[in-house]
Amino acid sequence: MASVEEIRTERIKKLEALQAAGINPYPAESNATMNNAAFLAAFAEGSPATLVGRVMSMRHIGAIAFAQIYDGTERVQAVFHKETTADFALAMETLEAGDFLEVSGSAMVTKTGAQSLGATSWRMLAKSLQAMPTEHFGIKDEDERYRKRYLDMLLDENVRNRVRRRSIFWNTIRSFLLARDYTEVYTPILETKTGGAEARPFVTHHNALDIDVYLRISHELWHKKIIAGGIPKVFEIGQVFRNEGMSHEHAQDYVHMELYEAFSDARTGVPMIIDMYRAAAQATWGTMQFTINDHNVDLGADWGKYDYNELMQEKFGFDPRTVTLDVVKEKLDAEHIAYDSSLDVGRGVDTLWKLIRKTLGGPAILTGMPVYLEPLAKKNAADPRTVDRFQIILGGSEVGKAFNELNDPIDQRARFEHQQSLRDKGDDEAQMADWEYVEAMEYGMPPMFGFGVSERLFAFLEGVSIREGQIFPLMKPRD
């Protein structure tokens, strides 16, 4: 079997043969008269056409050759014949799978009944210098598929369609919100303080200002400032970055959507969110029923309700609203979960909670989160030890959160001070104290509800890992 370099050398010789014949192997334009799908849809034997596409396969049978060309819409078989195709010998010498080709001729039906294009002339659009894997075998190694996603898409129709489904999914959400008078906004990615979530940020240096800055971990604080500025309903779909671990459900660079609505309570906003999930699922996959992490989930059914404190008491025998650090450590020890000296009650309780969460199939709304787990949500009026946070549970995981947003600057300042104390003790996932945000709140910030969901939802409904669901997941460079 020829090596990669030997194959490349042979292809360069074919490139040179084209150039010697006065042919530009990389022209700037094509002369296609229609795409392949339109050609097949309006197929009429004898009608002229010029089609373009990548040669997916090619076979020679004496004085005739067949090339399958694909332009991203459909495949069409181009038939080359020694008697009717110009420069037939050069075509047979230089054309091979992977090349981009322009073929002119007339619609014809082969002896086997295949609707084809009988080639009278051809033109190279881009000569391929690397051998494309065969479609039958494709690329089996996951690492190689992610590194060469362009080949993965080319060889696997489902991967191409997943890219299209991602577009349908996010545009359905966008259209859903625009139809409800939300204003789409675009906020900074580089920040001097990160906020809106507990996560370790990426740090970089801004040369012009000579300061360290962070890649945003959330859209939240920017959006709330916009709300304070007099625009009552906003949303954003864009990348966020969290310098944390990788798993089936976690990536460090991913699409996230957040929305905020002034003068609205999350209790009335959650039904809209449920409708949005259903609309996105129906438009993207044509169904409401999914299997997620071995849980059967029906988005069209009535959504259940879970209470965080009740579930924790049932499983571990303590009330998370009043539990001490010693009790949390005792339960972690019983579950054989390691922790370090920087552990606080919130981090420990959240770790234990995840053992419960994975057993909950949903769809359901979880309420009752303790205040110390949510620095930016308003306290519950009936139980101020908890916050008005409404977490969407699907397939044993959190797939979206809604809040009644905190707008009391005194309370916000105290919570930031607590988060800063955690950072001072070494917790680099605790939220940074953003005093400029507190100042904006002191000018006055209306009551509002907020909601956020990441592309984890798309991956769950697609039935793949979050990295598989991304078009180009981040890869460590090869040595």
Q: Which residues of 44-69 are buried (b: 16+ CB within 10 A; e: fewer)?
A: eeeeebbbbbbbbbbeeeeebbbbbb
Same domain, 25 and 112: yes
Cis peptide bond N-terminal to 363, omega within 30: yes
Percent of the chain with pLDDT over 90: 74
Of 149-163, 274-288, 404-418, least confident by mean pLDDT is 404-418
Q: In this structure, are strands 448-454 and 253-262 parallel, antiparallel, or unpaired?
A: antiparallel
Alpha-carbon distances, residue 68 vs 86, 131, 295, 305 (angstroms):
18, 16, 42, 54
First to last CA, the chain: 25
How many structural domains compose the chain? 2
Q: Would you state the pLDDT for residue 253?
A: 92
DSSP one-letter string for 90-105: HHHHH--TT-EEEEEE
Q: Would you state the pLDDT for residue 84?
A: 95
Residue 135 has pLDDT above 70, yes or no: no
Look up residue 18 and give its amino acid. Answer: L
Same domain, 379 and 246: yes
Q: Would you state the pLDDT for residue 132?
A: 84
Q: Would you state the pLDDT for residue 199?
A: 80
Residues 449-457 have a mean pLDDT of: 95
- For the CA atoms of the chain, what is the radius of gyration? 29
User: Considering the domain boundaries, does residue 341 fall inside one?
Assistant: no
Token readout for 184 is 């789409």
Same domain, 159 and 119: no
Same domain, 61 and 158: no
Q: Would you state the pLDDT for residue 197?
A: 72
User: Considering the domain boundaries, does residue 318 fall inside one?
Assistant: no
Domain end point (choices 126, 142, 177): 126
Residues 450-466 have a mean pLDDT of: 95
Q: Which residue has the higher pLDDT, 181 or 373?
A: 181
- The dihedral over CA atoms of 298, 299, 300, 301, expressed in degrees to the nearest 10, equals 60
Same domain, 26 and 121: yes
Q: Residue 5: helix, strand or coil by DSSP?
A: helix
Helix (H) / strand (E) element for 466: namely helix 466-469
Please tell me the pTM assigned to this model: 0.88
Residue 417 and residue 415: Cα distance in Å, rounded?
5
User: Considering the domain boundaries, does residue 350 fall inside one?
Assistant: no
Same domain, 412 and 286: yes
Instruction: Quote the Cα angle for 267-431-420, to 5°.
Output: 125
User: Considering the domain boundaries, does residue 309 fall inside one?
Assistant: no
User: Considering the domain boundaries, does residue 132 fall inside one?
Assistant: no
Query: How far from the centroid of its chain's Cα atoms is residue 336's Cα?
Result: 34
Q: Would you state the pLDDT for residue 393?
A: 95
Residue 62 has pLDDT above 80, yes or no: yes
Same domain, 289 and 382: yes
Residue 400 and residue 398: Cα distance in Å, rounded?
6
Residue 194 has pLDDT above 90, yes or no: no
Q: Give the contacts of 345 (CB within 8 A, at least 6 positions apart).
A: 323, 324, 325, 328, 372
Same domain, 233 and 370: yes
Instruction: Quote the Cα angle for 322-326-331, to 5°.
Output: 90
Of 7-16, 115-124, 243-252, 392-401, least confident by mean pLDDT is 243-252
Same domain, 429 and 379: yes
Q: Which residues pair with residue 295 across a beta bridge?
A: 292
Look up residue 279 and give its amino acid. Answer: A
When pLDDT is cut at 50, 70 and 90, the band that residue 248 belongs to is: confident
Alpha helix ranges (H) inside 194-324 = 220-228, 266-285, 308-316
pLDDT tens digits for range 281-322: 999 999 999 999 999 999 999 999 999 999 999 999 999 999
Residues 15-44 have a mean pLDDT of: 96
Residue 461 has pLDDT above 90, yes or no: yes
Domain end point (choices 106, 126, 146): 126
Cα dihedral 98, 101, 105, 106 sign: positive
Contact between 77 and 66 (Cβ < 8 Å): yes
Residues 85-102 have a mean pLDDT of: 95
Same domain, 283 and 395: yes
Q: Please report, for the domain that includes residue 96, its CATH number.
A: 2.40.50.140
Q: Please report, for the domain that includes residue 243, its CATH number.
A: 3.30.930.10
Look up residue 205 and give its amino acid. Answer: H
User: Considering the domain boundaries, does residue 406 fall inside one?
Assistant: yes
Same domain, 206 and 108: no
Residue 423 has pLDDT above 90, yes or no: no
User: Considering the domain boundaries, does residue 186 fall inside one?
Assistant: yes
Same domain, 98 and 171: no
Q: Give the contacts of 22 (CB within 8 A, at least 6 positions apart).
A: none
User: Considering the domain boundaries, does residue 335 fall inside one?
Assistant: no
Q: Residue 406: helix, strand or coil by DSSP?
A: coil
Structural domain span for residue 464:
154-303+362-469
Place of tokens 């014809």: 108
Q: Which residue has the higher pLDDT, 244 or 238?
A: 238
For residue 150, report the phi and psi dihedrals to the nearest 5 degrees. Answer: -60, -35
